[in-house]
Amino acid sequence: MSPTINRRSFLGTSTLAGASLATGSLFAVNLTEKTKKLKVGLIGCGGRGTVALSDFLEACKILGLQGEVVATADAFKANAEAAGKSHGLGPERCFGGYDAYQKVVASDCDFVVMATPPAFRPVHLAAAVEAGKHCFIEKPVAVDPVGARAIIATGAKAATKGLGIVAGTHLRRTAEYRRNKALIDAGAIGAIRGGVVRWNGGGPWIAPRRAEESDASYMTRNWLNFTELSGDHIVEQHVHNLDVAVWFLGRLPVSAEGFGGRARRETGNQFDFFSIDLDFGDGVHIHSQCRQIFGTHGSGGEIFTGVDGICYGSGKVTGKAVEVAPITVDSGNAYVQEHVELIRSVLAGQPLNEAKTIAESTLVAIMGRISAYTGSFVRMADLLENDKSALYGLACSPTALDFEKGPIKLPAEVPPVPGDGAKFPTRA
C-alpha cells in the first residue's frame, strides 16, 4: 500500500512569511526598503563556484532582495577576474593566489560562497567565521579526519557568533527527498534494516600538465584526481548519497570495511571504484558503492529496506499508509534552495548551522576511503573521538597551508596499495 500525504504543516520546510525579513535583521544597514541589498564574496571561481554565486543571486531575487558581488578569489587570478567581470567587478576586487581568500573575508561582504577544492575548506571557513561572515560551503568539507574535526570546531564557534553556515548537500533541499524522509520518520517502511547507496559513472576530467608548470599549479588544476585535494571520488562525489543514508537513518555508522582499486585512471593517485560495508549498529548495514570509469554503466541513488516496506531515494515508497504534511520549497532548483534557506535563516535571526552535519557525512566517506586504501577495519570513533588512535591525527599532505607557504612537492601519481601503509598519503 502506498503512503498518502495530507495538508498539515511541516515544521522546518514551509516557507517563512516575508515578515521574517523584518527589523532586527543582522543586516538592517543593508536591508533598507530602498536597497534590500546583500553583499557576497566568492572563494573558488571554477565552474561550481561561479554557478553557486549565480544561485546565491537568484535566491536573493526569490526573497525580494538584491545581491551584490563585492569580491572574488581564486588560486589563479585570471579565474577570479573572469568571475568578477561577469558581475561588474574591476580587477582590483578580484584576487589571485593561495592566500586570496583572506582578501575576500576582509572585504565588506556579508556572505561568502566557498567552492575551492575540499582540502582548502577548513582553513577558508575558519577565516570567514573569524571575520564574521555567513558562509555557504560546498561539499565535501575536508579530505581527512583532522580537517573534518576542524570544520566541526569552526561550526561551534560560528554558533557563538550567530553566524550561518549552509552546506551544498542539495539533495536535502528537494521536495522529493524531504517527503520520503518525512514518510520514513512517520513509519511508512518501519525501521530501516539495510540498503544500498551508489554513484556509478564515467571517469573524471583530466588537466594535462603544461610545460614548465609548477607542482602546485598542476595539482590545483588537476585537483579532482588527487586525494590530497579532493578526498577521492568517494568523498568528493559519493558523499551526497552517504549523506542521504546518514540523514534517513538519523545516525552515523559505527564502522566501515571495504575495498577498491584502480583500473584505468590516467593521472593522479586515486581509485576508480569502491565497495564499502557501513555498519550502522543494531544489525543494520548499508552497502556503499561508487565508480568512475569511462565507458561504464551509470547509475546513482539510494534504496532503503525497512521491516514494512522500501524507499527508493527520492522516488517510490511502498509500505504502510501514513500521513505527512505537504512539502514546499521556494525553488525547483535545489542548488538555489540552499541559498534561499541560508539567507532566510540569517535574516530571521535564526541562522542555520550545518557545519557538524556535513563534516560528519564527510567523515563517513573518509572512513570508507581509509578502509579501502589500507585494507583495514575502521571505526568512526577512531576518527572522531579516540585521540589515541593512529587514525585520529591522519592528515593528507600537502595541506592547504603548505600551498600558501610556498612550493609544494607533487605526490606520486600512483594509487595506494592495501596492506602497505607506506603508500597511504599521510603526514607525520
Q: What digits encode the pLDDT tens for the residues 85-121?
A: 999 999 999 999 999 999 999 999 999 999 999 999 9
Do residues 48 and 68 touch, judged by C-beta distance below 8 A? no
Q: What digits encode the pLDDT tens for the residues 121-149?
A: 999 999 999 999 999 999 999 999 999 99
Residue 428: pLDDT band with limits 50, 70, 90: very low
Residue 331, classified by CB atoms within 10 Å of its CB into exposed (0-12), middle (13-18) or buried (19+), is middle
Higher pLDDT, 50 or 419: 50
The residue whose grid cell reads 594509487 is: 415
**CA dist., res. 414 & res. 207, Å (int):** 16
Query: Which three three-digit cell numbers place residue 374?
Result: 589500507
Q: What digits encode the pLDDT tens for the residues 9-47?
A: 222 333 333 333 333 334 433 554 545 799 999 999 999
Query: Which three three-digit cell numbers place residue 71?
Result: 569580491
What pLDDT was estimated at residue 419? 86
For the chain, what percent of residues have pLDDT higher than 90? 88
What pLDDT was estimated at residue 427? 35
What pLDDT was estimated at residue 289? 98
What pLDDT was estimated at residue 174? 98
Q: What digits encode the pLDDT tens for the residues 51-97?
A: 999 999 999 999 999 999 999 999 999 999 999 999 999 999 999 99
Q: What digits encode the pLDDT tens for the residues 206-259?
A: 999 999 999 999 999 999 999 999 999 999 999 999 999 999 999 999 999 999
- In terms of Cα–Cα distance, which of 97, 52, 95 is closest to 75? 97
Residues near 319 by beta carbon (within 8 Å), at least 6 away in sequence: 1, 3, 183, 188, 189, 190, 306, 308, 309, 310, 311
Q: What digits encode the pLDDT tens for the residues 263-284?
A: 999 999 999 999 999 999 999 9
- In order of their start, the domains of the chain are 18-171+333-353 (3.40.50.720), 175-328+360-423 (3.30.360.10)
Q: Over 60: is that where the pLDDT of 421 sits?
A: no
For the chain, what percent of residues have pLDDT higher than 70? 90
Q: Over 60: is that where the pLDDT of 201 sits?
A: yes
Whole-structure pTM value? 0.92
What pLDDT was estimated at residue 35? 57
The residue whose grid cell reads 583495514 is: 376
Q: Over 90: is that where the pLDDT of 391 sits?
A: yes
Q: What digits encode the pLDDT tens for the residues 298-330?
A: 999 999 999 999 999 999 999 999 999 999 999
The amino acid at residue 323 is E
- φ/ψ (deg, to 5) at 129: -65, -40
Q: What digits encode the pLDDT tens for the residues 349-381?
A: 999 999 999 999 999 999 999 999 999 999 999
Mean pLDDT of the residues in the chain: 91
Q: Over 90: is that where the pLDDT of 340 sits?
A: yes
- φ/ψ (deg, to 5) at 278: -105, 120
Residues near 175 by beta carbon (within 8 Å), at least 6 away in sequence: 327, 328, 329
